[in-house]
A = this chain, B = another copy of it.
Protein backbone atom coordinates (compact mmCIF):
# COMPACT_ATOMS: atom_id res chain seq x y z
CA UNK A 1 0.00 0.00 0.00
CA UNK A 2 1.88 3.04 -1.30
CA UNK A 3 0.51 5.93 0.77
CA UNK A 4 1.50 8.46 -1.85
CA UNK A 5 -0.90 6.83 -4.32
CA UNK A 6 -3.91 6.53 -2.03
CA UNK A 7 -7.08 8.58 -2.51
CA UNK A 8 -8.12 11.04 0.17
CA UNK A 9 -10.71 8.59 1.39
CA UNK A 10 -8.28 5.70 1.57
CA UNK A 11 -5.82 7.91 3.44
CA UNK A 12 -8.48 8.87 6.00
CA UNK A 13 -9.32 5.22 6.55
CA UNK A 14 -5.66 4.23 6.93
CA UNK A 15 -5.13 7.16 9.29
CA UNK A 16 -7.94 5.99 11.57
CA UNK A 17 -6.58 2.47 11.59
CA UNK A 18 -2.97 3.50 12.27
CA UNK A 19 -4.07 6.03 14.88
CA UNK A 20 -5.95 3.31 16.72
CA UNK A 21 -2.88 1.08 16.61
CA UNK A 22 -0.68 3.92 17.86
CA UNK A 23 -3.03 4.67 20.75
CA UNK A 24 -3.05 1.01 21.70
CA UNK A 25 0.75 0.91 21.76
CA UNK A 26 1.02 4.22 23.60
CA UNK A 27 -1.32 2.94 26.30
CA UNK A 28 1.09 0.10 27.16
CA UNK A 29 3.25 2.38 29.27
CA UNK A 30 6.48 1.38 27.57
CA UNK A 31 9.81 2.85 28.61
CA UNK A 32 12.38 2.00 25.97
CA UNK A 33 15.56 3.73 24.85
CA UNK A 34 16.85 3.46 21.29
CA UNK A 35 18.76 6.71 21.43
CA UNK A 36 22.27 5.72 22.29
CA UNK A 37 25.04 4.14 20.25
CA UNK A 38 26.26 2.17 23.20
CA UNK A 39 27.20 -1.48 23.27
CA UNK A 40 25.04 -3.64 25.52
CA UNK A 41 26.60 -5.15 28.60
CA UNK A 42 26.64 -8.60 27.02
CA UNK A 43 29.24 -7.11 24.68
CA UNK A 44 31.34 -5.87 27.59
CA UNK A 45 31.02 -9.33 29.16
CA UNK A 46 33.21 -10.65 26.33
CA UNK A 47 36.12 -8.78 27.93
CA UNK A 48 35.75 -9.90 31.51
CA UNK A 49 39.15 -11.60 31.32
CA UNK A 50 40.70 -8.33 30.18
CA UNK A 51 39.99 -6.76 33.57
CA UNK A 52 42.21 -9.24 35.38
CA UNK A 53 44.84 -9.58 32.64
CA UNK A 54 47.34 -7.47 34.57
CA UNK A 55 47.95 -8.46 38.17
CA UNK A 56 50.81 -9.64 40.35
CA UNK A 57 50.62 -13.25 39.14
CA UNK A 58 50.59 -12.28 35.48
CA UNK A 59 53.21 -9.57 35.85
CA UNK A 60 53.35 -5.91 35.05
CA UNK A 61 55.95 -5.83 32.29
CA UNK A 62 55.37 -5.56 28.59
CA UNK A 63 57.47 -7.37 26.04
CA UNK A 64 60.07 -4.62 26.11
CA UNK A 65 60.51 -5.18 29.82
CA UNK A 66 58.79 -1.96 30.86
CA UNK A 67 56.96 -2.19 34.17
CA UNK A 68 53.77 -0.51 33.01
CA UNK A 69 52.84 0.81 36.44
CA UNK A 70 55.16 3.79 36.51
CA UNK A 71 55.13 7.11 34.67
CA UNK A 72 56.53 7.56 31.20
CA UNK A 73 56.12 6.37 27.64
CA UNK A 74 54.09 9.31 26.42
CA UNK A 75 52.95 7.61 23.20
CA UNK A 76 52.02 4.21 24.58
CA UNK A 77 53.41 0.68 24.71
CA UNK A 78 54.75 -1.04 21.61
CA UNK A 79 52.20 -3.89 21.68
CA UNK A 80 49.29 -1.50 21.26
CA UNK A 81 51.08 0.45 18.54
CA UNK A 82 51.56 -2.82 16.70
CA UNK A 83 47.95 -3.87 17.18
CA UNK A 84 46.48 -0.59 15.94
CA UNK A 85 49.02 -0.53 13.11
CA UNK A 86 47.82 -3.96 12.01
CA UNK A 87 44.20 -2.84 12.34
CA UNK A 88 44.80 0.30 10.27
CA UNK A 89 47.42 -1.10 7.82
CA UNK A 90 50.12 1.26 9.06
CA UNK A 91 53.52 0.97 10.69
CA UNK A 92 53.76 1.03 14.52
CA UNK A 93 55.80 4.23 14.25
CA UNK A 94 52.74 5.84 12.69
CA UNK A 95 50.58 5.24 15.76
CA UNK A 96 50.26 7.02 19.10
CA UNK A 97 48.22 5.40 21.85
CA UNK A 98 46.14 7.63 24.10
CA UNK A 99 43.67 7.24 26.92
CA UNK A 100 40.21 5.73 26.86
CA UNK A 101 38.60 8.03 24.30
CA UNK A 102 39.32 8.68 20.63
CA UNK A 103 36.97 11.67 20.85
CA UNK A 104 39.38 13.20 23.36
CA UNK A 105 42.23 12.72 20.87
CA UNK A 106 40.18 14.40 18.13
CA UNK A 107 39.23 17.24 20.43
CA UNK A 108 42.85 17.65 21.33
CA UNK A 109 44.10 17.81 17.75
CA UNK A 110 41.53 20.52 17.01
CA UNK A 111 42.29 22.34 20.24
CA UNK A 112 46.02 22.32 19.47
CA UNK A 113 45.28 23.39 15.91
CA UNK A 114 43.57 26.43 17.40
CA UNK A 115 46.43 27.43 19.65
CA UNK A 116 49.48 26.06 17.83
CA UNK A 117 48.35 25.28 14.31
CA UNK A 118 48.51 22.13 12.23
CA UNK A 119 51.50 22.94 10.08
CA UNK A 120 50.57 26.59 9.71
CA UNK A 121 49.67 29.47 12.00
CA UNK A 122 47.32 28.93 14.97
CA UNK A 123 43.78 28.61 13.63
CA UNK A 124 42.37 31.15 16.06
CA UNK A 125 44.01 33.67 13.75
CA UNK A 126 41.76 32.56 10.90
CA UNK A 127 38.59 34.41 11.82
CA UNK A 128 36.40 32.80 9.16
CA UNK A 129 37.59 29.26 9.77
CA UNK A 130 35.31 26.57 8.40
CA UNK A 131 34.97 22.82 8.66
CA UNK A 132 33.15 20.38 6.40
CA UNK A 133 30.56 18.17 8.07
CA UNK A 134 29.22 15.22 6.12
CA UNK A 135 25.50 14.82 6.78
CA UNK A 136 24.01 12.90 8.32
CA UNK A 137 27.06 12.64 10.55
CA UNK A 138 28.30 12.33 14.11
CA UNK A 139 26.99 15.07 16.38
CA UNK A 140 30.01 14.99 18.69
CA UNK A 141 32.38 15.65 15.79
CA UNK A 142 30.34 18.63 14.74
CA UNK A 143 30.12 19.87 18.34
CA UNK A 144 33.92 20.01 18.70
CA UNK A 145 34.41 22.25 15.68
CA UNK A 146 31.38 24.33 16.61
CA UNK A 147 32.86 24.78 20.10
CA UNK A 148 36.04 26.16 18.55
CA UNK A 149 34.16 28.62 16.40
CA UNK A 150 34.38 26.92 13.01
CA UNK A 151 31.54 27.55 10.59
CA UNK A 152 30.10 24.11 9.85
CA UNK A 153 29.46 23.43 6.18
CA UNK A 154 27.17 20.50 5.43
CA UNK A 155 27.88 18.17 2.54
CA UNK A 156 25.42 15.34 1.95
CA UNK A 157 26.41 11.70 2.07
CA UNK A 158 24.81 8.86 0.12
CA UNK A 159 25.37 5.14 -0.38
CA UNK A 160 28.85 5.69 -1.88
CA UNK A 161 29.98 8.33 0.57
CA UNK A 162 29.95 12.09 0.46
CA UNK A 163 29.41 14.36 -2.51
CA UNK A 164 33.04 14.73 -3.60
CA UNK A 165 32.31 17.31 -6.28
CA UNK A 166 31.09 19.63 -3.58
CA UNK A 167 34.06 18.88 -1.32
CA UNK A 168 36.57 19.49 -4.13
CA UNK A 169 34.90 22.84 -4.69
CA UNK A 170 34.81 23.76 -0.99
CA UNK A 171 38.49 23.12 -0.32
CA UNK A 172 39.39 25.86 -2.78
CA UNK A 173 38.52 28.19 0.10
CA UNK A 174 41.63 28.59 2.28
CA UNK A 175 39.40 29.09 5.32
CA UNK A 176 38.22 25.49 5.05
CA UNK A 177 40.48 23.62 7.46
CA UNK A 178 39.19 20.07 7.52
CA UNK A 179 36.48 17.52 7.12
CA UNK A 180 35.08 14.99 9.57
CA UNK A 181 34.96 11.51 8.01
CA UNK A 182 33.75 8.13 9.30
CA UNK A 183 34.84 6.12 6.29
CA UNK A 184 33.55 2.68 7.22
CA UNK A 185 29.96 2.04 8.36
CA UNK A 186 29.69 5.77 8.77
CA UNK A 187 27.95 7.19 11.81
CA UNK A 188 25.00 7.26 11.33
CA UNK A 189 24.55 6.63 7.62
CA UNK A 190 25.79 3.07 7.92
CA UNK A 191 27.46 2.71 4.53
CA UNK A 192 31.15 2.89 3.63
CA UNK A 193 33.13 5.09 1.29
CA UNK A 194 33.74 3.70 -2.19
CA UNK A 195 37.29 3.38 -3.54
CA UNK A 196 36.65 6.39 -5.74
CA UNK A 197 35.60 8.50 -2.76
CA UNK A 198 38.70 7.53 -0.76
CA UNK A 199 40.95 8.30 -3.76
CA UNK A 200 39.32 11.65 -4.31
CA UNK A 201 39.82 12.51 -0.65
CA UNK A 202 43.48 11.50 -0.93
CA UNK A 203 43.92 13.64 -4.02
CA UNK A 204 42.34 16.79 -2.65
CA UNK A 205 44.33 19.93 -3.34
CA UNK A 206 43.13 22.20 -0.57
CA UNK A 207 43.96 25.88 -0.67
CA UNK A 208 44.66 25.79 3.07
CA UNK A 209 48.10 24.36 3.90
CA UNK A 210 46.68 23.26 7.23
CA UNK A 211 43.65 21.41 5.86
CA UNK A 212 43.37 17.83 7.13
CA UNK A 213 41.13 14.82 6.79
CA UNK A 214 39.87 13.87 10.24
CA UNK A 215 39.50 10.20 9.49
CA UNK A 216 37.60 8.58 12.34
CA UNK A 217 37.89 4.90 11.57
CA UNK A 218 35.70 4.06 14.55
CA UNK A 219 34.17 0.98 12.95
CA UNK A 220 37.16 -0.38 11.04
CA UNK A 221 36.72 -3.93 12.36
CA UNK A 222 33.05 -3.73 13.31
CA UNK A 223 31.61 -6.02 10.68
CA UNK A 224 28.28 -7.78 11.22
CA UNK A 225 28.49 -10.29 8.38
CA UNK A 226 31.11 -12.44 6.68
CA UNK A 227 30.55 -10.30 3.62
CA UNK A 228 32.00 -7.05 4.83
CA UNK A 229 32.74 -3.61 3.47
CA UNK A 230 36.37 -3.05 2.57
CA UNK A 231 37.71 0.47 2.33
CA UNK A 232 40.98 1.62 0.86
CA UNK A 233 43.69 2.67 3.30
CA UNK A 234 43.57 6.44 3.44
CA UNK A 235 47.23 6.83 4.35
CA UNK A 236 48.42 4.71 1.44
CA UNK A 237 46.23 6.59 -0.98
CA UNK A 238 47.36 9.94 0.40
CA UNK A 239 50.97 8.90 0.10
CA UNK A 240 50.46 7.82 -3.51
CA UNK A 241 48.89 11.20 -4.14
CA UNK A 242 51.85 13.02 -2.58
CA UNK A 243 49.70 14.07 0.38
CA UNK A 244 51.04 11.89 3.22
CA UNK A 245 50.33 14.46 5.92
CA UNK A 246 46.71 15.01 4.89
CA UNK A 247 44.95 12.41 7.05
CA UNK A 248 44.80 12.27 10.81
CA UNK A 249 43.39 8.86 11.62
CA UNK A 250 41.56 7.85 14.80
CA UNK A 251 40.44 4.54 16.21
CA UNK A 252 39.73 2.95 19.55
CA UNK A 253 38.89 -0.32 21.24
CA UNK A 254 35.85 1.18 22.96
CA UNK A 255 33.45 -1.01 21.00
CA UNK A 256 35.91 -3.90 20.92
CA UNK A 257 36.72 -4.32 24.61
CA UNK A 258 34.86 -2.22 27.20
CA UNK A 259 33.20 1.05 26.12
CA UNK A 260 34.41 3.37 28.88
CA UNK A 261 37.58 1.46 29.56
CA UNK A 262 39.13 1.03 26.13
CA UNK A 263 42.27 2.36 24.50
CA UNK A 264 42.28 5.02 21.78
CA UNK A 265 44.80 5.80 19.07
CA UNK A 266 45.72 8.57 16.69
CA UNK A 267 47.70 7.71 13.57
CA UNK A 268 49.07 9.08 10.34
CA UNK A 269 52.34 10.25 8.83
CA UNK A 270 55.46 10.11 10.96
CA UNK A 271 55.74 13.87 10.60
CA UNK A 272 52.26 14.33 12.07
CA UNK A 273 52.98 11.81 14.81
CA UNK A 274 56.20 13.63 15.76
CA UNK A 275 54.18 16.83 16.08
CA UNK A 276 51.52 15.18 18.24
CA UNK A 277 54.08 13.35 20.38
CA UNK A 278 55.88 16.60 21.10
CA UNK A 279 52.62 18.25 22.08
CA UNK A 280 51.67 15.32 24.30
CA UNK A 281 54.88 15.81 26.25
CA UNK A 282 53.37 19.00 27.68
CA UNK A 283 50.09 17.33 28.56
CA UNK A 284 50.98 14.27 30.52
CA UNK A 285 53.69 12.39 32.39
CA UNK A 286 52.43 9.34 30.55
CA UNK A 287 49.24 7.48 29.66
CA UNK A 288 47.63 4.57 31.50
CA UNK A 289 50.01 1.87 30.29
CA UNK A 290 48.46 -0.76 32.56
CA UNK A 291 45.22 -0.55 30.63
CA UNK A 292 47.19 -0.81 27.41
CA UNK A 293 48.91 -3.92 28.73
CA UNK A 294 45.53 -5.42 29.65
CA UNK A 295 44.46 -4.92 26.06
CA UNK A 296 47.73 -6.24 24.66
CA UNK A 297 47.28 -9.44 26.66
CA UNK A 298 43.63 -9.87 25.69
CA UNK A 299 44.40 -9.13 22.04
CA UNK A 300 47.94 -10.35 21.28
CA UNK A 301 47.33 -9.75 17.57
CA UNK A 302 44.68 -8.72 15.08
CA UNK A 303 43.47 -12.29 14.63
CA UNK A 304 42.57 -12.52 18.33
CA UNK A 305 40.81 -9.19 18.12
CA UNK A 306 38.83 -10.24 15.05
CA UNK A 307 37.71 -13.38 16.89
CA UNK A 308 36.22 -11.10 19.52
CA UNK A 309 34.57 -8.98 16.82
CA UNK A 310 32.81 -12.10 15.52
CA UNK A 311 31.35 -12.65 18.98
CA UNK A 312 30.24 -9.03 19.11
CA UNK A 313 28.61 -9.48 15.70
CA UNK A 314 26.67 -12.49 16.95
CA UNK A 315 25.15 -10.30 19.66
CA UNK A 316 24.57 -7.20 17.53
CA UNK A 317 23.54 -8.70 14.18
CA UNK A 318 20.15 -9.98 15.38
CA UNK A 319 19.43 -6.52 16.80
CA UNK A 320 20.07 -4.87 13.46
CA UNK A 321 17.97 -7.55 11.77
CA UNK A 322 15.07 -7.03 14.17
CA UNK A 323 14.91 -3.36 13.26
CA UNK A 324 15.46 -3.89 9.55
CA UNK A 325 12.80 -6.61 9.40
CA UNK A 326 10.32 -4.31 11.15
CA UNK A 327 11.12 -1.53 8.68
CA UNK A 328 10.77 -3.90 5.76
CA UNK A 329 7.49 -5.45 6.81
CA UNK A 330 5.85 -2.30 8.22
CA UNK A 331 7.23 0.46 6.01
CA UNK A 332 8.27 -1.36 2.82
CA UNK A 333 6.48 -0.21 -0.30
CA UNK A 334 4.57 2.56 1.47
CA UNK A 335 6.51 5.36 -0.21
CA UNK A 336 7.00 7.18 3.10
CA UNK A 337 10.42 6.03 4.30
CA UNK A 338 13.76 4.68 3.19
CA UNK A 339 16.59 3.35 5.29
CA UNK A 340 20.12 2.10 5.05
CA UNK A 341 21.10 -1.53 5.44
CA UNK A 342 24.59 -1.42 6.96
CA UNK A 343 26.89 -4.42 7.03
CA UNK A 344 28.48 -3.17 10.23
CA UNK A 345 28.92 -0.32 12.63
CA UNK A 346 26.43 0.93 15.16
CA UNK A 347 23.68 2.80 13.33
CA UNK A 348 20.93 2.64 10.77
CA UNK A 349 19.74 5.83 9.09
CA UNK A 350 15.99 6.11 8.64
CA UNK A 351 14.70 8.82 6.32
CA UNK A 352 11.00 9.54 6.81
CA UNK A 353 8.83 11.89 4.76
CA UNK A 354 10.25 15.41 4.67
CA UNK A 355 8.94 17.47 7.55
CA UNK A 356 8.06 14.40 9.63
CA UNK A 357 11.20 13.41 11.57
CA UNK A 358 10.52 15.62 14.58
CA UNK A 359 6.92 14.47 14.67
CA UNK A 360 8.01 10.82 14.62
CA UNK A 361 10.40 11.55 17.48
CA UNK A 362 7.57 13.14 19.48
CA UNK A 363 5.11 10.36 18.73
CA UNK A 364 7.67 7.78 19.84
CA UNK A 365 8.46 9.71 22.97
CA UNK A 366 4.80 9.98 23.89
CA UNK A 367 4.51 6.23 23.42
CA UNK A 368 7.50 5.62 25.71
CA UNK A 369 10.24 5.11 23.12
CA UNK A 370 13.21 7.47 23.21
CA UNK A 371 15.00 8.04 19.91
CA UNK A 372 18.02 10.23 19.22
CA UNK A 373 16.70 13.75 18.68
CA UNK A 374 15.61 14.43 15.11
CA UNK A 375 18.24 16.61 13.49
CA UNK A 376 20.98 15.44 15.86
CA UNK A 377 23.07 14.22 12.93
CA UNK A 378 23.22 17.68 11.34
CA UNK A 379 25.23 20.76 12.32
CA UNK A 380 23.53 22.68 15.13
CA UNK A 381 20.92 19.90 15.31
CA UNK A 382 19.02 21.20 12.30
CA UNK A 383 18.08 18.79 9.53
CA UNK A 384 16.85 21.10 6.74
CA UNK A 385 14.53 18.35 5.44
CA UNK A 386 13.40 17.25 8.90
CA UNK A 387 13.58 13.75 7.52
CA UNK A 388 16.43 11.87 9.20
CA UNK A 389 16.38 9.68 12.29
CA UNK A 390 19.46 7.96 13.69
CA UNK A 391 18.53 4.47 14.83
CA UNK A 392 20.80 2.87 17.41
CA UNK A 393 19.89 -0.80 17.80
CA UNK A 394 22.83 -2.02 19.88
CA UNK A 395 21.95 -1.14 23.47
CA UNK A 396 18.40 -2.45 24.13
CA UNK A 397 17.68 -6.12 24.66
CA UNK A 398 16.29 -7.90 21.58
CA UNK A 399 12.82 -8.07 23.16
CA UNK A 400 12.76 -4.36 23.93
CA UNK A 401 14.12 -3.59 20.53
CA UNK A 402 11.29 -5.46 18.86
CA UNK A 403 8.74 -3.49 20.88
CA UNK A 404 10.51 -0.21 20.18
CA UNK A 405 10.83 -0.89 16.45
CA UNK A 406 7.10 -1.66 16.35
CA UNK A 407 6.26 1.67 17.95
CA UNK A 408 8.69 3.47 15.66
CA UNK A 409 7.13 2.01 12.51
CA UNK A 410 3.62 2.95 13.59
CA UNK A 411 4.86 6.46 14.43
CA UNK A 412 6.45 6.79 10.98
CA UNK A 413 3.18 5.79 9.37
CA UNK A 414 1.08 8.02 11.58
CA UNK A 415 3.28 11.07 10.99
CA UNK A 416 3.12 10.51 7.24
CA UNK A 417 -0.66 10.08 7.32
CA UNK A 418 -1.06 13.20 9.45
CA UNK A 419 0.85 15.08 6.80
CA UNK A 420 -0.91 13.50 3.83
CA UNK A 421 -4.37 14.03 5.33
CA UNK A 422 -3.59 17.48 6.65
CA UNK A 423 -4.33 16.32 10.20
CA UNK A 424 -0.89 17.33 11.43
CA UNK A 425 -0.71 18.54 14.99
| Interface residue ranges of A322-374 to B (CB < 8 Å) | none
Given the interface pairs A71-B38, A72-B260, the reply to whether A285 lies near B101 with Cβ below 8 Å is yes
| Interface residue ranges of A260-287 to B (CB < 8 Å) | 260-261, 282-287
Q: Are B71 and A103 in contact (CB under 8 A)?
A: no
Copy number of this protein in the oligomer?
A: 2
Q: In the bound complex, what is the Cα–Cα distance between A147 and B115 (angstroms)?
A: 10
- Judge if A291 is at the interface, Cβ distance under 8 Å: yes
Given the interface pairs A140-B285, A261-B290, A282-B144, the reply to whether A44 lies near B56 with Cβ below 8 Å is no
The interface residues of chain B lying within 8 Å CB-to-CB of A140 are 282, 285
- Judge if A1 is at the interface, Cβ distance under 8 Å: no
Binding stretch for chain B, among A46-54, A297-305, A396-404:
A46-54
The interface residues of chain B lying within 8 Å CB-to-CB of A36 are 71
Partner-B contacts on A (CB < 8 A): 36, 38-39, 41, 44-45, 48, 51-52, 54-56, 60, 67-73, 99-101, 103-104, 107-108, 111, 114-116, 122, 124, 140, 143-144, 147-148, 254, 258-261, 282-291
Given the interface pairs A55-B48, A55-B52, the reply to whether A70 lies near B259 with Cβ below 8 Å is yes
Q: In the bound complex, what is the Cα–Cα distance between A282 and B72 (angstroms)?
A: 27
The interface residues of chain B lying within 8 Å CB-to-CB of A45 are 56
Q: Are B55 and A41 in contact (CB under 8 A)?
A: no
Given the interface pairs A41-B70, A51-B290, A290-B260, the reply to whether A282 lies near B147 with Cβ below 8 Å is yes
Given the interface pairs A103-B283, A284-B103, the reply to whether A260 lies near B68 with Cβ below 8 Å is yes
Q: In the bound complex, what is the Cα–Cα distance between A141 and B124 (angstroms)?
A: 24
Q: In the bound complex, what is the Cα–Cα distance between A71 and B41 (angstroms)?
A: 11
Selected from B39, B122, B284, the residue in CB contact (under 8 A) with A70 is B39
| A214 → chain B closest CB, angstroms | 15
Name, among A51, A55, A259, the residue most crowded by chain B CB atoms within 10 Å (CB to CB): A51
Selected from B48, B116, B147, B260, the residue in CB contact (under 8 A) with A288 is B260
The interface residues of chain B lying within 8 Å CB-to-CB of A282 are 107, 140, 143-144, 147
| A36 → chain B closest CB, angstroms | 8
The interface residues of chain B lying within 8 Å CB-to-CB of A71 are 36, 38, 254, 259-260
Q: Are A41 and B56 in contact (CB under 8 A)?
A: no
Q: In the bound complex, what is the Cα–Cα distance between A38 and B103 (angstroms)?
A: 30
| A343 → chain B closest CB, angstroms | 24
| A30 → chain B closest CB, angstroms | 21
The interface residues of chain B lying within 8 Å CB-to-CB of A111 are 111, 115
Q: In the bound complex, what is the Cα–Cα distance between A56 and B144 (angstroms)?
A: 36
Given the interface pairs A70-B41, A115-B115, A122-B124, the reply to whether A285 lies near B52 with Cβ below 8 Å is no
Task: Return the chain B residue nearest A290 by Cβ.
Answer: B261
Q: Are A104 and B70 in contact (CB under 8 A)?
A: no
Selected from B115, B283, B287, the residue in CB contact (under 8 A) with A124 is B115
Given the interface pairs A103-B284, A282-B144, A291-B291, the reply to whether A258 lies near B124 with Cβ below 8 Å is no
Q: Are A261 and B144 in contact (CB under 8 A)?
A: no
Selected from B56, B70, B122, B283, the residue in CB contact (under 8 A) with A260 is B70
Q: Are A258 and B51 in contact (CB under 8 A)?
A: no
- Could you pull out 16 A-B pairs where Cβ atoms are within 8 angstroms? A44-B69, A48-B56, A51-B52, A51-B54, A71-B254, A99-B99, A101-B283, A114-B114, A115-B124, A124-B124, A140-B282, A140-B285, A259-B285, A260-B286, A261-B289, A288-B291
The interface residues of chain B lying within 8 Å CB-to-CB of A286 are 101, 260
Q: In the bound complex, what is the Cα–Cα distance between A284 and B143 (angstroms)?
A: 11
| A138 → chain B closest CB, angstroms | 11
Q: In the bound complex, what is the Cα–Cα distance between A143 and B283 (angstroms)?
A: 10
Q: Are A51 and B55 in contact (CB under 8 A)?
A: yes
Q: In the bound complex, what is the Cα–Cα distance between A55 and B290 (angstroms)?
A: 15
| A75 → chain B closest CB, angstroms | 13
Given the interface pairs A283-B107, A284-B104, the reply to whether A148 lies near B115 with Cβ below 8 Å is yes
Q: In the bound complex, what is the Cα–Cα distance between A289 and B69 (angstroms)?
A: 18
The interface residues of chain B lying within 8 Å CB-to-CB of A148 are 115
Q: In the bound complex, what is the Cα–Cα distance between A411 and B69 (angstroms)?
A: 33
